[in-house]
Structure 1
Amino acid sequence: MAALDIVTVPVNGGIGLEDSAVAASAGGDTAPVGPGRLLYVMNGDAAPHTATVATPGTVAGLPLPEVVVVVPAGESAIVPLTTVFRGVNGRASITYDAVTAVSVAVFELER
C-alpha cells in the first residue's frame, strides 16, 4: 500500500483538486485521519469504480461497516477521513476495485 500525504489547502486561496491528486495504487493506499481531512477520488475512466475505506472498529462487539463509494465515470467523490477509519498503523486503509485512470489525494484546510 502506498502512503498518501496530506495536501494543505490555504484559507486565503484555492487549490486545484485534480492537480494535487496522484495515481491510486493497485494494492491500495493508506491515508492520515483526523478532523478536517478529506479523501478525494477522481475517476477519469469510462467505467465506474469503487473505493472502499476500511472501518476497523466495533460498537458493542459488532463490526462497523466499511464505507463503499461508487464513483461514476468522469466524476469525483469526497470522503471525510474521520478517526473511525484509524487502523492499527494510525492511518485509514483504502482499496479500489480497479485503478485505471483513478487518482486520489488527501486534503486538509490550513489551520
Structure 2
Amino acid sequence: MAILSAQRIGLSGLQPAYSAAASGGDQAPVGQGLVLHVRNGGASSVTVTVATPGTVGGLAVADAEQSVPAAGAAFIPLAATFRDPMTGRAAITYSGVTTVTVAVLQV
C-alpha cells in the first residue's frame, strides 16, 4: 500500500505527477479541497473504492465506489468522511491497476 501526498494547485496552475495505482491499494490525505484524480489507460473499466470507516446508529456506512471508464478518468473527493481513525488517511483500492495512475490534488 502506497501513501500518496497531496499536490497543491497554485494560482499559476500545476503539472501533476502521477503514480501507478498500487495493487494492494493506496492511502491518501483527506479534507476540504482534496480530490483523487484517477486515469485509466486500459481497455476496460476499473472500479475505485474509498473505504468509509464510520457508522451511523451502529450501522456501517457503505464504501464509496466510482467506475472509471476504459481510457477515461475520474475525480473522487477525499472528504473527511473517509478518514481512517488509525491512519488519519483514506484507504483506496482498485479492481485493477494495470495502466491506472493516480494523483491527489488540492485546490
TM class by shorter-chain length? over 0.9
Deviations 1:13-54 (A, max 9, x none): 2223xx521100010000000111101111011111111000
* Structure-1 residue corresponding to 2:58: 61
> What does 1:9-88 align with in structure 2 at a 5 Å threshold?
9-10=9-10, 12-16=11-15, 19-87=16-84, 88=86
Q: Which amino acid aligns with 2:13?
A: G
Supply the distance in 2 between the matched residues of 1:78 and 1:62 (Cα, whole angstroms).
27
Partner of 1:108: 106
Unpaired runs of 5+ residues, structure 1, are none
**RMSD of aligned alpha carbons:** 0.9
TM-score by length of 2: 0.95
Normalised to the residue count of structure 1, the TM-score between the two structures is 0.91
- Amino-acid identity (%): 47
